[in-house]
Chain A
Amino acid sequence: MSQFLTQNFFELFDIPLSFDIDLPKLEIQYRDLQRTLHPDRFANASDQERRISVQNTAQLNEAFQTLKSAPLRARYLLQLKGIEFDDEKDTTFDPAFLMEQMELREKLADIKQTADPMTELADFLQDISKLNMAMVSELATLFSNDNDEYLNEAKQVVQKIRFLNKLQQEAEELEEDLLASY
């Protein structure tokens, strides 16, 4: 097997293992690797090379998407540090956060009945994106404290972002429904 598939994502891009990453460098490395690995480079190669090319590029894309996105990068880093995630069982207990989530959910449920649901929905999605950004900066702060206590706190934030993503997904599903009935 190509060693490419067994490296961790940071090694794969030859960048330091850290939450705070050099995004422009990541993008340059990504493009250089794409130029080398992409199936278009192997259109005339053997079946085997073409197969490996698809596998490698899929891995490269996965690695790039993971490191590019702050919450995914945080989750991946925590997993490398031995923190386990179990999406079925893990829950977050911060009451203020849960209250806020409930309110947001109620708001989303009511959007369908408003006079201009598309605009309301756009505003709603904007709000979620702001909350998301706030949490990402919280993650940056946590990871910059170089001690182990932050690990579990960071995990909590990652889970909160997951909540938000779910909400965002539901909002987007509502948008699909609105578009379909349009």
Chain B
Amino acid sequence: MALLQISEPGQSTAPHQHRLAAGIDLGTTNSLVATVRSGQAETLPDEQGRHLLPSVVRYTNDDIIVGHDARAAASSDPLNTIISIKRFMGRGLEDIKHLGGKLPYHFTEVDSAVPRLQTAAGDKSPVEISSDILKTLKQRAETTLGDDLTGVVITVPAYFDDAQRQATKDAGKLAGLNVLRLLNEPTAAAVAYGLDKEAEGVIAVYDLGGGTFDISILRLNKGVFEVLATGGDSALGGDDFDRLIAQWIMEQAGISDDADHAQLRRLMHAACDAKEALTDSDKTSLEIELADGSFWKGELDRELFNKLVDPLIKKSILPCRRALRDASVSAEEVQAVVMVGGSTRVPRVREKVAEFFGRDPLVDIDPDTVVAVGAAIQADILAGNKPDSDMLLLDVIPLSLGLETMGGLVEKIIPRNTTIPVARAQDFTTFKDGQTAMSIHALQGERELVVDCRSLGRFALHGIPAMVAGAARIRVTFQVDADGLLSVTAREETTGVESGIEVKPSYGLTDNEIETMLRDSMTYVSEDVAARNLREQQVEAERVLEALAAALAQDGELLNRDERSEVDNAAAKLQAARDGNDPAVIKSAMEAVDKAAEEFVARRMDGNIQRALSGHNIEEFD
């Protein structure tokens, strides 16, 4: 197609060319980046050959240090060295205080609901800190692969709520990444496992990481990975195991609760080492330096360790039971239990999971890398590198979505474990004569009372015509996209007055905040913002033109000559705008193409549906 003769060095997106895409596992303890090369998904190492990047960021006056070097400074510089930031994502200060354990950080309270941590480099939000981890992985991938990444898939715990997902996506944006999809970690693991073992049937993925726990029940059928149910605890993980051991040490060694931050970090380190040692041995010895310079020596055996962590493991088994019930599947029907996440190395965890499911879990896949590998496979497909792939992931929302109603109660609109994307509407009415506005409060969670659920956002519908109570008909629609992100619209049906929000979580960053951060961000200091904007629009224009050309080549006969020339005209104008240097002109030309192609797109979609129903894949018609 003449439309497609665009190819400039460094920004080529010509069709059929391999696009660089990566999967990123942004973990509580460690993070990884993986990509598909020569048909093989693999994690990428750093220059020293290390694949895992500790999710630790240290801020100094003039530098940001991420990974191993930052972790090494965790005890000596606890205030400026941030660990396990994932636990704070999408959380307010109050939630963080309830996370358990004594936190070494100083928080700044600002107008925004997002907590900020005070560091030598200024106040940092969890989103910014996570984006620094992502930037390091981006750089690693681009250095290794030799070019810019077209897009990435970032994994999140399946049990992450809307606010936590939004925060993760914001962190990706802030790191300058094109986030193709947020993918649930257990689903990513199922993809890697399922493709590797060519598995079919019902499987369970038990994913216990550093700070989060997920259980997902999936049905694998001819390349379709259908999540039947998911459950979990977004504040349960290996960190909690460490904390219990650290508490035990404190009791034994007579260390008081108000020990300094450096001491607490050392304790957590020792606890983590002891936990890891007990994976292979029956007992381990401990040595802790006390404040007065003397040493406490002790021993922890596996029996006592098991006793300490049993309550935590039990906390993970209850969601397993509920997930099975939600999936309408019995434990016997589960054909394989896949173990994911570093904490599944703990023998007691394997024992208890085996006991619950009545079968030995699979521990032969690398629990640290499987999620990143699955994300890389999905990223490769979403980037368009495998147009013939049959693989499809059907995921669910982990927690019910609802609205506040009279009396502080929550009315559920979309129940948990509903397949996404989903759209559902509910009608409400006014309760006072002459009422002209209505406040809409979106919530997520299973509990009955508003106070027990997570507040996602509030907005108001104004301009309702004054009527008697109960006469207005207000339709509130919840839509959840493939990333699991919610948007809400409200519309008064008799007049058509409309209002809506992309739900910006109560604990999320505002668009302005993100904008400012982007501008301030180190990445763009050397780069002219205007130039970047132009380039982004140009890349987007190319994407639009390319997609249109491909669609016309395939289904061009759906348009008559006039219709076709209208579309071609709009495309030619966009092509000209793309070669110019005004981002606003490119943008409006893109909108014009969208409008001109509207009918074509609809007909094409209907044609595809017909073909799917008559039992043929589109591919067969190529």
Assess whether A127 is interfacial by the CB under 8 Å rule.
no
Contact between B613 and A2, CB atoms less than 8 A apart = no
Question: Does any Cβ of B come within 8 Å of A137's Cβ?
Answer: no
- A172 to B326 CA separation, bound complex (whole angstroms): 11
In the complex, A53 Cα to B609 Cα: how many Å? Answer: 12
In the complex, whether A109 has a CB less than 8 A from a CB of chain B is no
Interface residues in A29-66 by Cβ distance below 8 A to B read: 29, 31-40, 43-49, 52-59, 61-62, 64-65
Stretch at the interface among B26-34, B286-294, B415-423, B508-516: B415-423
Q: A35-B617, A58-B421, A125-B325 are in contact. Are A43 and B181 (CB under 8 A)?
A: yes
Q: Interface code B547-558, partner A: CB below 8 Å = 1, 0 otherwise?
A: 110010000000
Of the candidates B381, B418, B481, B594, which one forms a contact with A46 in the assembled complex, judged by CB atoms under 8 Å apart? B594
Asked if B615 contacts A179 (CB within 8 A), the reply is no
B448 within 8 A of A: yes
Summed over the interface, the residue pairs from A and B with CB atoms below 8 Å come to a total of: 126
Q: Are the C-beta atoms of A38 and B482 separated by less than 8 Å?
A: yes
B446–A61 touching, CB < 8 Å: no
Contacts of B617 in A (CB 8 A): 32, 35
Q: Complex formed: what's the CA distance from A126 to B272 in Å? A: 42
The CA of A62 and the CA of B480, in the complex, are separated in Å by 13
Return the contact of A48 from the options B446, B481, B598, B609 (Cβ within 8 A): B598
Knowing A39-B482, A40-B381, say if A45 contacts B547 (CB, 8 Å): yes
Contact A176 B447, beta carbon cutoff 8 Å: yes
Q: Across the interface, name the chain B residue whose C-beta is closest to A1.
A: B602
* A28: nearest chain-B partner, CB-CB: B615
Residues in chain A near residue B606, CB distance under 8 A: 2-4
Q: Within the assembled complex, what's the spacing in Å between the Cα atoms of A12 and B144? A: 47
Given the known inter-chain contacts A14-B613, A46-B544, A48-B597, please indicate yes or no for A173 contacting B422, CB distance below 8 A. no
Q: Point out the residue from B180, B392, B602 that lies within 8 Å of A38, measured CB to CB.
A: B392
Chain A residue numbers with a CB within 8 Å of B423 are 55, 58-59, 62
Residue among B318, B479, B611, B612 with most chain A CB within 10 A: B612
Q: Is the CB of B315 within 8 A of A182?
A: yes
- In the complex, which of the residues A1, A54, A61, A175 contacts B322, with contact meaning CB atoms closer than 8 Å? A175
Contacting pair A37 B447 (CB below 8 A): no
Which B residues touch A65, using CB under 8 A? 418-419
Q: Does B569 contact A (CB under 8 A)?
A: no
Give the interface size class of chain B.
35 or more
A177 contacts chain B at the CB level, 8 A cutoff: yes
Chain B positions 591-614 with a Cβ under 8 Å from a chain A Cβ: 593-594, 597-598, 601-602, 605-606, 608-609, 611-613
Q: Tell whether, in the assembled complex, residue B419 and residue A32 are in contact, meaning their CB atoms are under 8 Å apart.
A: no
A26 to B73, CA, bound (A): 58
Interchain CB contact under 8 A, B605 and A58: no
User: Which residue of chain B is the closest to A39 with respect to CB atoms?
Assistant: B482
Bound Cα distance A45, B318 (Å) = 42
CB-contact partner of B392 in A4, A13, A14, A34, under 8 A: A34
Is B618 part of the contact surface with A, judged by Cβ < 8 Å? yes
Residues of chain B within 8 A of A53, CB atoms compared = 605
Q: Is residue B224 within 8 Å, beta carbon to beta carbon, of the partner chain?
A: yes
- B residues in contact with A54, CB < 8 Å: 421, 479, 481-482
| In the complex, A99 has a CB within 8 A of chain B | no
- In the complex, whether B250 has a CB less than 8 A from a CB of chain A is no
| B594-A32 in contact (CB<8A) | no
Minimum CB distance partner of A122 in chain B: B321
Query: Which of B53-61, B63-71, B342-350, B382-390 has 4 or more CB atoms under 8 Å from chain A?
Result: B382-390
**Cα–Cα, bound, A3→B393 (Å):** 25
- CB of A144 to closest CB in B, whole Å: 24
Would you call B446 and A44 a contact (CB within 8 A)? no
Q: What residues of chain A lie closer than 8 Å to B436, measured between beta carbons? A: none
A180 at the interface (CB under 8 A from B): yes
Docked complex Cα distance between A39 and B605 (Å): 12
Task: Give, as a whole number of angstroms, the nearest-CB distance from B286 to chain A.
Answer: 30
Within 8 A of A (CB), among B214-253: 221-222, 224
Chain A residue with Cβ nearest B224: A31
Check B543 for interface membership: any CB of A closer than 8 A: yes
| Chain A residues touching B, range | 35 or more
CB distance from B466 to the nearest CB of A (A): 24
**Are B421 and A40 within 8 A (Cβ)?**
no
The answer, yes or no, to whether B424 is at the interface (CB within 8 Å) is yes
Residues of B within 8 A of A32 (CB): 612-613, 615, 617
Bound: A90/B321 CA distance, A: 35
Cβ-defined contact, A61 with B181, below 8 A: no
Are B608's CB and A44's CB within 8 A? no
How far is the CB of B589 from the nearest CB of chain A, in Å? Answer: 13
Contacting pair B605 A4 (CB below 8 A):
yes
CB distance from A66 to the nearest CB of B (A): 12
Question: How far apart sit A45 and B180, CA to CA, in the bound complex (Å)?
Answer: 12
C-alpha gap A56/B482 in the complex (Å): 12
Question: CB distance B447 to A177 under 8 Å?
Answer: yes
Pairwise interchain contact B594-A173, C-beta atoms closer than 8 A: no
Nearest chain A residue, comparing its CB with the CB of B314: A182
* Across-interface contacts of A2 in B (CB, < 8 A): 602, 605-606, 609
Q: How far is the CA of A33 from the CA of B392 in the complex (A)?
A: 11
Q: How far is the CA of A47 from the CA of B609 in the complex (A)?
A: 19
Instruction: Report yes or no: B609 in contact with A36, Cβ–Cβ below 8 A.
Output: yes
A46, B594: Cα distance in complex, Å: 7
Closest B residue, CB atoms, query A178: B318
CA of A17 to CA of B617, assembled, Å = 25
Given A39-B482, A56-B605, A180-B447, A46–B597 Cβ distance below 8 Å? yes
**Contact between B602 and A176 (Cβ–Cβ < 8 Å)?**
no
Complex A-B, nearest 3 residue pairs according to Cβ-Cβ distance, in ascending order: A58-B423, A43-B382, A36-B612
- B binding-site residues for A, Cβ under 8 Å: 151, 180-181, 221-222, 224, 315, 318, 321-322, 325, 378, 381-384, 390, 392-394, 418-424, 446-448, 452, 479, 481-482, 543-544, 546-548, 551, 593-594, 597-598, 601-602, 605-606, 608-609, 611-613, 615, 617-618
What are 18 A-B contacts defined by CB distance under 8 Å?
A14-B613, A31-B392, A33-B609, A35-B224, A36-B608, A36-B612, A43-B181, A43-B383, A44-B384, A46-B547, A46-B593, A48-B594, A48-B597, A54-B482, A61-B421, A173-B446, A175-B322, A180-B452
Known: A40-B181, A44-B382. 5 other contacts (CB 8 A): A2-B606, A54-B421, A61-B422, A65-B419, A180-B447
